[in-house]
Amino acid sequence: MKRLKYSQFILLLFPLFFLLPSNVLADDKDNEGEFGAIIIPIDSIKKYDSTSFWRLVGRTRLNISTIVLSNWSDGGESSLIGAGSFDLTAIYQKGKIKFENNFRSAIGIQVFQYSNKKKTDDKLELSSILGIQFSEKWFYSFNTNFSSQYYKGYKYPNDTVVVSDFLSPGYLTVSLGLEYKPLKNLSIYASPLAGKITFVNNQDLANEGKYGVVAAVRDSLGNILIEGEKRKSELGISIIAKYKGKINKNLDLNTKLMLYNNYFDPVKSNRWNIDVNWETWFDIIINRFFVASAYFHVIYDHDIKIPVFDMVDGNRIKVGETINLQLKQNYGLGIAFKF
């Protein structure tokens, strides 16, 4: 029996997805272009009270998308993308005490027909906030937040150079402050005493001074005399603004803005810099079965250097590093299931 090619196999899956093929645009040589894709999100939301004072809210999602190219003159490569996420919030509220905990996790992988696979998403985040209400809309609050990733990330298209790893980086923030809740779904938290620890447990990355840690001391030949530090401690001000709710009947919005400033940065000019981490999700309900989604993630951190490339003889060559705004976008349209 004649063996099916990769692209033929993908085409046979379309009827199972109950979707018509979308238009496909070939990406560039580095597979970084935009494309139309077939995406099937499986979205479930369940709410219940485990006791009279606890409330749990959970959300799961699975996205599957594909690019199919056959004899495409502009180049590119067929691929299959799978991504899953999980979001669970547990809230305890009794009298003037409120204890809110959130766990978020996401994994995404892109598998190519010929090339090695790539990681497209990798997130691990835990946060807790304990509040004591002292007026109608104000709380004294103790806040903790931890974030990292599960797996190694590489300097694509080179999949041998590691640029990130579990706890490389990892961020732990502990703070005392005030929380203001002017609306049911809106929260604004501010702390003038926020301790932040950056972890870089991968020694090779620590030796390079990645993510703001002190780099290794080397001799004139590049040999390491003193290993790079794996931790960086900071004390500063933290502001967190969150909104999660419906804009209208068919539009859900979930957004979280985190700002941080280090009082005692060794470089005095950096003490005016503000680290920005802003994530936003939109879910647009088209009808009973179809949902459109959009995700935006903006990061600005002066401790994270972004490589700068120039085109030399048709190849991308790294010519330096700079501090710049990082932006990630993800759009989807497909079938949704809620239960």
Tokens of 181: 């809740």
pLDDT over 50 (residue 14): no
Q: pLDDT per residue over 169-201, tens digit each?
A: 999 999 999 999 999 899 999 999 999 999 999
Handedness of CA 204, 208, 212, 214 (dihedral sign): positive
For residue 21, name the pLDDT band (cuts at 50, 70, 90).
very low
Tokens of 233: 């401690």
pLDDT at 32: 37
pLDDT over 80 (residue 290): no
Comparison of pLDDT for 313 and 301, the residue scoring more? 301
Tokens of 102: 């959130």
Average pLDDT over residues 81-105: 90
Say how many C-beta atoms besides its own lie within 10 A of residue 291's C-beta. Answer: 23
323 by DSSP, 3-state: which?
Answer: coil
Q: pLDDT per residue over 256-265, tens digit each?
A: 999 999 999 8
Domain range list for the chain: 85-283+295-329
pLDDT over 90 (residue 167): yes
pLDDT at 143: 96
Residue 195's identity, in one-letter code, is: G
pLDDT at 17: 37
0.75 cut: is pTM over it? yes
CA distances from 146 to 104, 174, 295 (A): 11, 9, 21
Residue 223 Cα to chain centre, angstroms: 35
pLDDT over 60 (residue 31): no
Residue 306's identity, in one-letter code, is: I
Of 336, 326, 258, nearest to 297 by C-alpha is 326
Average pLDDT over residues 107-131: 89
Kindly state the percentage of the chain with pLDDT values over 70: 80
Kindly state the percentage of the chain with pLDDT values over 90: 45
Q: In this structure, what are the phi and psi dihedrals at residue 38, rounded to the nearest 5 degrees?
A: -95, 120
pLDDT at 335: 56
Q: What is the rounded distance in angstroms from the CA atom of residue 164 to the CA atom of residue 149?
A: 8
Q: Whole-number mean pLDDT of the chain? A: 80
